[in-house]
Structure 1
Amino acid sequence: MTEYRFAEQEPHEAGFADVYENEVSPFLKEMEILRTRSLAKRKLWVGIVIPLSAGLAFWSGMAVHPALAFFPLFLGFVLAFLLWVQRGDKVERAAAAFLPPVLCRFLGSMEMTREVPGGFMPLERLRDLRLLPHGSEANQSLAVTGQWRDVNYKVLSLTCRQRERDSEGDVRYHEVFSGILLQVDCPVDMPCTVFLRDFGETLNKVNKWSSPAVPPHRWEFADPGIENVFEVYSDDIDRASQHLGQNFPCKFIDMAKSFQGGREYCEAAFEGHDFYLALRLPHRFLGFNLGNDPLHLADEPIRRALADLVMPRRVIDMLLD
């Protein structure tokens, strides 16, 4: 008999094995029945569509014109492909609705919604500060609010696309950001200070000229490792240095390497009592992708989702420690 088990590995997973056994595994077993039935039906339909399209192709090629044989084959294989790739959609939607609330309740002090409230984060301001690509369109998929170490935070999962025209005048959309925005309460009133990627002297000047909302004063650092990664601008370098210090950007390098699949840089900003961090993730935040594999293997996607939800806590720990 197939076992549905969760082996706890990380400190934040402590106690989740019981939740998995009592709440998650019954759901997964039910969904596995649905998945196998759906898979069997789609295999049946694919087995009907392909021979039927082949038969129509043979008939049209022999009875009408050989060139017409292509069209039934093409349509048949497209239909079979769509039937196959969508085989796990229903299970995926059910998992996306059921699992996140369970994980949030287990971790505590957080709530998640897929209906992102208007004005949840100041996206236009963050574009002006270049934490998000300027001129991009944002697709907001979910929002999380929570508290850790008496610090409030918000998480917004989003993708950003830029609208472009090709040489023939056709509109194309190019994805320029996929990940999360994190907003954390700051205990002190900070001058506007932004940490941006270093593109080299010439491009940095161009970017600064085209971004009038970015603070005017460039903050220089003694560590070449920081200078090679970040361009930092502030309204008040003395106040920013007093609160943050010369080594503070090293925290962002650690965050980038920890959460972004090895990238050294990430965009961040302090403004008043708010801290903002933009992280490009190598995977979809709280994405489960459970529909195509047997669901007793769902422990790893669930483990990754738990890691996603504690990401703000780890960032707060890095900021405070």
Structure 2
Amino acid sequence: MAFVEKGGIDAGFAPIFAERIAPEIDRLEAERKALLSRARRNSLISLIVGLALAGGVIALWGASGGALVGAIIVAVIGVIGALVARSMQSAKWTGAVSETVMPPVCDFLGDVRHDRMAKDGFPVGTLRTLGMIGSYDSSTLRDRIEGTYRGIDYTLVEARLTRESRNNDNQKSTTTVFDGLLFRIALPAPAPTKILIARNHGMVGNALAGLFAGKSGRKMPKVDTGHPDFEAAFELHAEDPDVVPGFMPPRFLDNLVAIGEAEGGKKGAKGMLAAFFGEDFFLALERKEPFLEVAKLGQPIHGIDEVLHDVFDDLTIVRRIIDRLMDDVPRA
């Protein structure tokens, strides 16, 4: 198996692939088949146990309404158990491929580090304080990337933030607060004031967002940038509005809109939130698209060379953003 370079960020990776990844393909495929077999076996056991217990409930208490409800609940638990069993093996598989593939990729790119489990975390609380994201009580972080590009330090992570609530009947529900990518990009010099680039929900929506903002960034004075494209997508708030025009001239606003449209997935600029705070630029991109998806349990590993092109594209997202912030056409 050979890796076909496309002449972008992957230029020169073919020899690394041949030396460090290609020799592991057969081993990985054997591991995938073993994990898939285990997932199917455990899922089947969970389903059989669930259905057997459901049948036992009906046999013991008859086909009354209560017994049927109990049987359905037990059967559903069996289905959930089957899904969990497959999910566990799928996670093991993804981890195995990631441990094989990502180190050579990161070494090739230079000052880039990858942590699939995101053990070092991300300052999500700062984003909540700045008003970029709403209140949440559970966070799932993965695929943390840390590195330096053009002399600028950055961190990005895939994040899913959720909040649980209960209705009048005490039934619990889960709301997704954020699902996408979070970035921290170091600034060459500290921002002159705290700035929030919030989403434009329209006059009424913005008023309601400000009303329920608590102490978040929407409570800061609103700044009219006079930039039609920027104002169509965003509402800007700053602690000191007077310094914003000098810090964010029209060309810079053009670039922020371009970042949202290019990197915001299907939502475009409407899927982007940002803030300047101290020495950092924070960015949130709501995206449903997979990020660093190196393998699926149900797919053979022999197509990993094509998957790696998607991996390289994912890793260039932050580079394209930094290029825009530095007023350059993205290089990769």
TM-score relative to the length of structure 2: 0.79
Q: Counterparts in 2 of 1:241-252, with a 5 A limit?
A: 241-252=245-256
Partner residue, 2:230:
226
Q: Counterparts in 2 of 1:59-208, with a 5 A limit?
A: 78=79, 88-113=90-115, 114-117=117-120, 120-121=122-123, 123-190=124-191, 191-208=193-210
CA distance in 2 between counterparts of 1:18 and 1:290 reads: 25
Deviation at 1:145, TM superposition (A): 1.9
**Gapped runs of 5+ residues in structure 1?**
none
Residue deviations 1:56-112 (CA, integer Å, cap 9, x gap): 89x99xx999969x99xx59x847777667664442221133322222111111222
Deviation at 1:293, TM superposition (A): 0.7
Return the letter of the residue paired with 1:233. Answer: H
Return the letter of the residue paired with 2:304. Answer: A
Residue deviations 1:190-222 (CA, integer Å, cap 9, x gap): 211111100111221222233333162212133
Q: 1:308 aligns with which of 298, 311, 314?
A: 314
Deviation at 1:51, TM superposition (A): 10
**Gapped runs of 5+ residues in structure 2?**
328-332
CA distance in 1 between counterparts of 2:242 and 2:261 reads: 28
Return the letter of the residue paired with 2:26. Answer: K
Q: 1:240 to 1:31 in 2, by over 3 A?
A: same
Q: 1:83 to 1:198 in 2, by over 3 A?
A: closer
Matched, 1:287 2:284: no
Aligned-pair Cα RMSD in Å: 3.5
Contact persistence 2:179–2:287 (CA under 8 A): yes
TM-score relative to the length of structure 1: 0.81
CA distance in 1 between counterparts of 2:82 and 2:138 reads: 34
Partner residue, 2:330:
none
Q: 1:239 to 1:46 in 2, by over 3 A?
A: closer
CA distance in 2 between counterparts of 1:300 and 1:255 reads: 26
Q: 1:271 to 1:29 in 2, by over 3 A?
A: same
CA distance in 2 between counterparts of 1:64 and 1:228 reads: 64
Identity %: 23
SS at structure 1 position matched to 2:3: coil
